[in-house]
Amino acid sequence: MSVFVNNRGFTLVELMIVIAIVGILAAVALPQYNAYRQRAKASKLLDIARACAMERAAQCQTAEGMSPPAANTLSNCISNAFSLPSGGPIAITDAASCNIDVSTKATVGTTTYTSRCQGPWNGNITCNLTP
């Protein structure tokens, strides 16, 4: 009479190997995820500067480039209604002219990003993001 025992399951070594593989994957994935989050917040900074520049261009277009309202009338931009990632300032330095110059600055993690949109109200407005 032979007793046949059917053992099913994983050995301790197999489980340790799986845990080691999961640990290695997590060690690689977490820094990449954090870098992705930083880039997303920096991208938001560029979008905010672009929105303020377009709002200012709309004011200049309404005034047809002649005596537009003061730049501080851009309520969304001046009051930081766009909520920059770290509450940084939005600077609009075109004074009473319509040469648009909007810059935003914010620190995300340990990196400070600056976004700037410049150009004439009736031409190409270029926007750049620099870390």
* Closest CA relative to residue 121, chosen from 102, 107, 105, 104: 102
Q: What is the pLDDT of residue 35?
A: 83
Q: What is the pLDDT of residue 68?
A: 64
Enumerate the domain spans of the chain.
12-130
* Closest CA relative to residue 127, chosen from 109, 100, 108: 100
Distance CA 67, CA 89 (A): 25
Distance CA 122, CA 27 (A): 50
pLDDT of residue 13 exceeding 70, the answer is yes
Confidence of residue 15 (pLDDT cuts 50, 70, 90): very high
Collapsed DSSP state (helix, strand, coil) of residue 69: coil
pTM for the model stands at: 0.58
Query: Sign of torsion, CA 30 36 37 42?
Result: positive
